[in-house]
Structure 1
Amino acid sequence: MKELWLHIKGDWKNEKKKVQAGIESGFVTFYVEEPELLKKITELAAVKTALESDDGADGDADIIVSRVKHKPENSRSCFHIEIKDKGDERKAVSMVKQVDYLLINTGKDIIPLENIISEAQGLCKVVAEIGDVRQAETVLKALEVGADGILYRPKNVDEVRDLFRVYHEFEAKKVDLVKATVTKIKPTGMGSRVCIDTCSMMHVGEGNLIGSQSNAFFLVHSESVKNPYVATRPFRVNAGPVHSYILLPDGRTKYLSELKAGDEVLVVDNTGKSRVAIVGRLKIEERPLLLVEANSDSRKISILLQNAETIRLVNEKGEPVSVAKLREGDRILVHLEEGGRHFGKKVKESITEK
């Protein structure tokens, strides 16, 4: 996930409204130059903060930003530099192995930003200052991978909300869903099943991407469909047994057993549109399981789910279909990838999971 930094500076009476709007919108980090503002912000909510401090004083900030080289004792480090020429660019690149963040201002120039991003990948995070909300998407897409975050000083509350809207639209990535044909449905016995209770309400058509293979995921529907058996739980996906993989917002996977409160999961709808939800809790219980196997483009894929009427996949029309009514020959929506996984991260390697 990209980081949003909101620059707060000046009269607190005016800035407080921007901070409150930022907190409500979900901004991750508030960047300040005055320690007094840092204290006022953290009194409003438990948020991440960055403090400009060239003397190396940590204060209570999570990140210490400095225009000189130093390593704070109790905070993460960030080197701040304005890129005016090639010499500034080289200086920024020289710091990528020495700090946690680079905060850079390249104005409207994209090439220096792309050069620094390419050098910093895997070494430190690059946060780019922007002077206009319209720059946000360009910066986040620079060199395809984009900057790791953006810093902006909004003129008013409306600009805070506008920036978050641009960010939300950028993060709502499209996931490629394809059709697979069900080839086998078989009850298998008991297992430890995981319900993912998120902090978001899901709609009909939405769910999580789950599978027994790390490169093949079934769209498992949320409990948002009315039924005569139990009340709906639109915040929940009954995802399957503990061994199953779930696809995360950053493209990695986790075993369902590894999820915990506060983790981010990817919510996907029947058109492939995605959003992020936070895990509130997991419910792991012993339940009867059902094996579903399917074929897509000659690939055999599988998933185990709880054997119950309220557990649903999504059919080729985008409609939720109960596993109790699922039949061989039915077409369902899945997401397929190439290669394998190493500790949840994609690798270009031939790995067989069956």
Structure 2
Amino acid sequence: MRFPGRHRGRREDGERRRGVPDGEGGDGGRRRRRLDRAKRVPAPIPGCDGPGHRGDRPRRGIRQGSGRHPEAGRDVTGPVLWARVIPWGKDVAIAALESGVETLWVPDDCFESVRELGRVTTVCSRGDLREGRDFRVTRMQGKEDETAILSSSPETIWVVRPEEREVIPLENLVAHRRKIFAVARTPEEVALYRGVLERGVHGIVLEADSPRRMRQMASAARTEAGRVPLASARVTEVTSLGIGDRVCVDTCSLIEGSRGMLVGNSSAGMFLVCAENAPNPYVSPRPFRVNAGAVHSYCRLPGGRTGYLSELSAGSEVLLVNEHGEGEMAAVGRVKVERRPLLLVRAEGPGGASHSVILQNAETIRLVDAAAGTVSLAKLSVGDSVLLAEERAGRHFGVPVEETIREN
């Protein structure tokens, strides 16, 4: 409860210190907020704000009530996932949640049953998201349905049931940047809707008749969070640098095979550093960990972005890539920064460009070569070939930009 005049003297003193004249607003020097005041919008920052930058993106609206957003659970590199569990099946719902789906569309009388499963965004007449208020539904049976969607606001979310995997109407809607959630019943349909115009629909509603099918469909929606072209580069220098701060990225995933992170001194060339998942006589494997290198290094993130290793923390997302360039998102559970001996590795790409990376000087750190599998830094020598990702565009706050940038 607020009491009239409480802390009045303290507030008036503060306003006088800020230069607010007595009597302004006709209330003894106190300012009254006007209910019809204009919304304050921060001025753009020259060179930072603009198309493609964070300052130019519309801010997510806050809806009264539950505070949940229709796009909750969105993977930055993939579609928003909902699971429609009608008729209700607790085992199917649990399979969806265990597969990373955070939004469940359920019968109205199962609202309380869903709440027992944990923190879940619900879609029903009593739920966080409701048909008619937060989204609209259409069966997409003819041209008139497509016209209705195109004539609506671009921010309107439409749940669409395509007729027999019809793609052309979806392509038209995706081309006009409409927020389309396509209903999928098989893993093949999930893959189809993800590939519409090489961009994919905004979201996918998964419908499955068994827990196993739900897991298959969710996996199909998450697979290949990004494909990164990799090239073979020839090692030209391996030099010890002394002591420095290096970063171990402990993910929330068990990393298998040659999968690891792309890391480099420059975003123009990032080396594939394998996870510490190989047996070693001196230390047990850490299949969740990538010993990624010095704190200043760039690393590839989902969505084609980059970041500094020093910026990662619990809850961050990184991109894990295998020797074929197939990527998937992984959540960071912990980041360890420790002082360790460092090693500079320099390599020449296919076009003659020189790239480098600074890693911990230890036998457990491995780079990847498509021909020979992986090679330990303890055995790496000039003339060996390693895999890296090259790009010509420079980076501004992690976003590719076409401008002259040199990083040596």
TM-score (normalised: structure 2): 0.73
**Map of 1:66 onto structure 2:** 131
**Map of 2:148 onto structure 1:** 91
Is 1:196 the counterpart of 2:249? The answer is yes
Q: CA deviation at 1:141?
A: 0.7
Q: Choose 90-99 or 285-294, whichever is displaced more.
A: 90-99
Contact 1:270 1:318 in 2 (8 A): no
Is 1:207 the counterpart of 2:260? The answer is yes
Q: 1:187 to 1:78 in 2, by over 3 A?
A: farther
Contact 2:111 2:124 in 1 (8 A): no
Contact 1:210 1:217 in 2 (8 A): yes
Contact 1:96 1:119 in 2 (8 A): no
Q: Which whole-Å CA distance do the structure 2 matches of 1:66 and 1:85 have between them? A: 21
**Aligned mate of 2:360, from 286, 302, 306:** 306
Is 1:155 the counterpart of 2:229? The answer is no
Contact 2:262 2:273 in 1 (8 A): yes
Q: CA deviation at 1:199?
A: 1.7
Contact 2:230 2:388 in 1 (8 A): yes
Q: Which whole-Å CA distance do the structure 2 matches of 1:189 and 1:90 have between them? A: 65
Q: 1:284 to 1:118 in 2, by over 3 A?
A: same
Q: CA deviation at 1:251?
A: 2.0
Q: 1:318 to 1:251 in 2, by over 3 A?
A: farther
Contact 2:261 2:292 in 1 (8 A): yes
Structure with the bigger percentage of strand:
1
Identity of aligned residues (%): 40
Q: Which whole-Å CA distance do the structure 2 matches of 1:319 and 1:131 have between them? A: 38
The amino acid of 1:339's aligned partner reads A
Q: Which whole-Å CA distance do the structure 1 matches of 2:185 and 2:282 have between them? A: 55
SS at match of 1:143: helix
1:155-194 map, 5 Å: 155-168=209-222, 170-171=223-224, 174-194=227-247
Is 1:51 the counterpart of 2:123? The answer is yes
The amino acid of 1:66's aligned partner reads E
1:310-349 map, 5 Å: 310-349=364-403
Q: Which whole-Å CA distance do the structure 1 matches of 2:197 and 2:281 have between them? A: 51
Is 1:115 the counterpart of 2:172? The answer is yes
Q: 1:310 to 1:171 in 2, by over 3 A?
A: closer
Contact 1:96 1:102 in 2 (8 A): no
The amino acid of 1:353's aligned partner reads E
**Aligned mate of 2:100, from 26, 33, 47:** 26
**Map of 1:102 onto structure 2:** 158
SS at match of 1:325: coil
Q: CA deviation at 1:173?
A: 5.4
Q: CA deviation at 1:220?
A: 0.6
Contact 2:302 2:319 in 1 (8 A): yes
For each residue in 1:229-280, what CA deviation from the matched residue of structure 2 results, as whole angstroms up to 9, or x when unmatched?
A: 3222121111012221211232222211222222332222234343332211
Is 1:141 the counterpart of 2:214? The answer is no
The amino acid of 1:29's aligned partner reads T
Contact 1:182 1:327 in 2 (8 A): yes
The amino acid of 1:20's aligned partner reads I
Q: Which whole-Å CA distance do the structure 1 matches of 2:370 and 2:85 have between them? A: 48
What runs of 5+ residues in structure 1 fail to find an aligned partner? 54-58, 71-76
CA RMSD, 1 decimal? 2.5
Q: Which whole-Å CA distance do the structure 1 matches of 2:202 and 2:253 have between them? A: 25
TM-score (normalised: structure 1): 0.83
SS at match of 2:215: helix
Contact 2:226 2:302 in 1 (8 A): no
Contact 2:234 2:383 in 1 (8 A): yes
Is 1:254 the counterpart of 2:307? The answer is yes
**Map of 1:5 onto structure 2:** 82
For each residue in 1:32-51, what CA deviation from the matched residue of structure 2 results, as whole angstroms up to 9, or x when unmatched?
A: 352x423322321333x242
Q: 1:130 to 1:313 in 2, by over 3 A?
A: closer
Contact 2:206 2:218 in 1 (8 A): no
Q: 1:88 to 1:207 in 2, by over 3 A?
A: same
SS at match of 1:89: helix
State how many pairs are aligned: 329
Q: 1:196 to 1:115 in 2, by over 3 A?
A: same
What runs of 5+ residues in structure 2 fail to find an aligned partner? 1-77
The amino acid of 2:103's aligned partner reads T
For each residue in 1:197-216, what CA deviation from the matched residue of structure 2 results, as whole angstroms up to 9, or x when unmatched?
A: 11222234221111121232
Is 1:291 the counterpart of 2:363? The answer is no
For each residue in 1:3-41, what CA deviation from the matched residue of structure 2 results, as whole angstroms up to 9, or x when unmatched?
A: 32110223x4xx11111121233323212352x423322
The amino acid of 1:149's aligned partner reads G
**Map of 1:73 onto structure 2:** none
Q: 1:228 to 1:156 in 2, by over 3 A?
A: closer
Q: 1:171 to 1:221 in 2, by over 3 A?
A: closer
SS at match of 2:356: strand
Q: Which whole-Å CA distance do the structure 2 matches of 1:338 and 1:37 have between them? A: 53
Q: Which whole-Å CA distance do the structure 1 matches of 2:167 and 2:138 have between them? A: 15
Q: CA deviation at 1:293?
A: 1.3
